[in-house]
Every structure is written in structure tokens, then in C-alpha cells.
Structure 1
Amino acid sequence: MYHVVVGVDDEAEHALRCVEEVVNLPGGVEEKSVTLIHTFVDNPSGASATQVQSVREAADYLEEHGIECEIEESSGDPADAIVRTADGGEADLIVVGGRKRSPAGKALFGSVTQSVVLGAQRPVMVTGVD
């Protein structure tokens, strides 16, 4: 079984782009399993990851394509949570969405994607840039 961890933020378009790439990975759907991880940075209402639209849409897309999917949630730093989830589940691959940012924007605000790429001890796929 090929296990993929997908970091899902609040943007449904990013989440769908990530899971589309998982579906397109070589091998049959029965050979793939996916863990979707959503990290709450601020969650005053106490929502769960399954209530987040981007997570629901990503999970629905995987299920429509016959891929086994599990949803996890955490709080704190998203990059740390993605890497920790991948390490704990002995993932074969991490998938995260990329986005265009100016050099100043990267320096000032950091990047979850960049932190995952630099902090992971396993392959990382960065999907589409908008």
C-alpha cells in the first residue's frame, strides 16, 4: 500500500489540486491510501476537520475515485503537523499545495510548503501554483 499524507488548508481549490495529483499517481486505487491533515491555527468555535469545506471536498473526491481516506486534525504549526503525521504514519509521500508569493512575502510570512519541503525526511510533491 502506498501511503500519502496531504496537507489541506482552507482553500478548496488547493485541496482538490492535491488530491487530483494523488489520483493520478501510478498504480491502481486499491494500492493507495491517503491521510488528509488539516491544522487549525485559530479555532474558537471548536470545529473539527470534517467540518472544513476544503477537507470535505478533498475526501469526497478521493472516495469518488475509490481511494481509502482518513482525516486527521491538529492545532499549531501546519508544517510541523504535516511532517509529524507523515512520520507517524510512515508515509511514502507528502503532498502540499504551492502558491505564488513575492520574495518579500516569503521572507516576511514564511511558507508552510517551504517548511515541509525543508523539514521532511521523505519525498514531497508540491502541486500547482496559482
Structure 2
Amino acid sequence: MYRILAAIGTDEERAVEQARAIADLPRNGDVAVTLFHDFADDNPEGASVQQVAAVRRAAELLEDEDIEVDYAESSGDAVRAVLETADDIGADLLCLAPRKRSPTGKAIFGSVTQQVILEADRPVLVVGADGAGE
């Protein structure tokens, strides 16, 4: 079983791009995708990952392609959470879709995608890096 962790934000267009990219990967056996969402610092409404519209859209597309889907969520440090979840599920690949930011914005606020790429010990697929869906 090939396991993919797809970190999904709130942008539905980027989530669909991620799901399509995963569905288009060559398959030599079963593929399972964990759709992961980080609720930032807290989740006061107590929402679950399945309630995020972007996650639901990605799940629909993947399931239509007969790809097994499960879910994971966290609240807090997104980089740590992505990397720890990848370890927990034994992910073979990480799939991320960065938000478009100016170079100044990246310098001031950092980039989860950039930090995950630098710290990951497994391949990372970056989808829609041109900022589509912004």
C-alpha cells in the first residue's frame, strides 16, 4: 500500500488540484490518502476535518478514482503536525499546495510548505505553486 499525506487548507481549488495530481500519479498497487487539515492555533467551534469544504471536495474526487481516503487533523504548529502525522501513518509521499505569497510575505510570515520541504525525510509533491486558486 502506497500512503500519501495530503495537507489540505481551506481553498477548494487548491484541494481539487492536489486530489487530481494524486489521482494522476502512476499506480502500481493500492493507494491510500490521508487528508490532513490543521486548524491553526485552535478550533473554538470544535469542527472536524470532514467539515472543511476543501477536504470534502478532495475526498470526493479521490474516492471517485477508487483511492482509499482517511482523515487526520491538528491544531497548532502546522509544520510539526504535518511531519508527525506523516511519521504516524508511514507516509511514502507528502502532497502540499502552497498559498501564493510575495517574497516579503514569505520572509516575514514564513512558509509551511518551504519548512516541510526542508525538514521532510520523504518526497514532497508541491501542487499549484504558481498560486492558482488565490
The TM-score normalised by the length of structure 1 is 0.93
- Structure 1 stretches of 4+ with a deviation exceeding 4 A read none
Give the equivalent residue in structure 1 for 2:108. 108
Give the equivalent residue in structure 1 for 2:97. 97
Distance in 1, Cα, partners of 2:107 & 2:35: 28
Give the equivalent residue in structure 2 for 1:47. 47
Give the equivalent residue in structure 2 for 1:35. 34
Identity of aligned residues (%): 47
RMSD of aligned alpha carbons: 1.2
SS at match of 1:66: coil
Distance in 1, Cα, partners of 2:60 & 2:81: 22
Cα deviation, 1:44-103, whole Å, max 9, x if unaligned, reads 111111111011111111111110000111110112111111111111100000233211
Give the equivalent residue in structure 2 for 1:21. 21
The TM-score normalised by the length of structure 2 is 0.91
Distance in 2, Cα, partners of 1:98 & 1:45: 25
- 1:57 paired to 2:57: yes
Distance in 1, Cα, partners of 2:36 & 2:98: 16
Q: CA deviation at 1:14?
A: 1.1
